[in-house]
Amino acid sequence: MKVCLIGNNLTSLILANILSEKNFYTEIFSLKGPKLNFKTRTLGITNSNLIYLEKYFKNISKKTNLINKIQVLIKNKKINKEIFFNKDIKSLFSMVKYDKLYSIIESKSTRNKFIKFKYFKKDTDLLVLKNKKDFKLIINCEKYNFLTKKFLKYQINKNYYNKAFTTIINHKKLVNNKAIQIFTDFGPVAFLPLSEKKTSVVFSFDIKKKNNISEDTIIELIKDFNPIYKIISMEKLEYFNLKFKLPKKYYYENILFFGDAIHSIHPLAGQGFNMTIRDIKTLNNILSQKINLGMNIDKNIFNEFEKETKSKNSVFSFGIDFIHEFFKFNKDYIPKNISETIIDFINNNQKIKNLSIKFANHGSL
């Protein structure tokens, strides 16, 4: 059986390798030319998802950095408080650079006889794939290509008016296993450890406050909010605009949309990639069931996939959106004494913390 995957990215490569275990031949289509290469993009991977990936890509965990503590700091003009997440387990999640993980999986993909790479000259040429009859499934794993723009309609399309600035700081060696999220007057900034000497920084800056923010200003703010690191240097600053998008339907005729195309969320909890892995698990389970029952594999499974995943993804996405809006509303509108009472209640309630950890790890309670 042949499957068409659109987009030479981490999502399509992981999916292609998993499909190859079922003897599916996949052709990965993308545009000719240099790939988008975000040198400072990083990924947080939950424990359950890392275990799943290890089944297909051995020793991936050795390339990641374990996080066993999360410190949430609220530092704005009104209050200065913290919430501390720590559980008696080896790790809460793991961090890895996107390009490092991509390189590992791409290397395996190029050696896999079930996977072929093909290229188009221009974006609109992708429309040809829609009418090809030799593919059992067509899965579009790209967020911004011609097919997504033309056929995917959104039910939720919310502009956060945030610009996410990312960099990696090189610093003096230390035990570096605590993720730190700081909610500031300018927006949330996260310090996410990659190793003893490297830490990823994601600063979601509120551009409503200052549209023409300079890179120098962002760098100075990162240094100001730096909680513990003795910085030696900072890598190139990269940025992208933030929106919250959920589609009306996950598929259009014979095309299934997948990955970031169907759940674009705020990065403050680092859950976008984890949602994609959970979707891959679901799709893989559906295919396994069909194969075991001797049933036909075709576009009819798209509706089943949507039914299995859409409600869960929506609840999870709105949960992330709620966290963002809560801290924003808390900063601007809730009186100081009430804010401090709410934060103290969360900080002293281990049950709430444990449920939060479970929700982040599995995508559900």
Q: What is the pLDDT of residues 31-56, one digit of tens each?
A: 887 666 678 999 999 999 999 999 99
- pLDDT higher than 90, residue 87: no
Torsion of CA 305, 311, 317, 320, to 10 degrees: -140
> What is the pTM assigned to this prediction?
0.91
- pLDDT higher than 90, residue 90: no
- pLDDT higher than 90, residue 362: no
Nearest to 137 by CA among 283, 9, 279: 283
| Residue reference for tokens 């052709």 | 27
Strand-by-strand arrangement of the 2-6 sheet: 115-120, 25-31, 2-6, 137-140, 255-257, 251-252
* HSE (side-chain half, CA atoms, 13 Å) at 188: 24
- pLDDT higher than 60, residue 85: yes
The helix/strand/coil state of 77 is coil
Mean pLDDT of 336-346: 78
Structural domains in the chain, sorted by start: 2-362 (3.50.50.60)
Maximum average pLDDT range among 185-199, 309-323, 327-341: 185-199
Q: What gap in Å lies between CA 15 and CA 178, rounded to an integer? A: 31
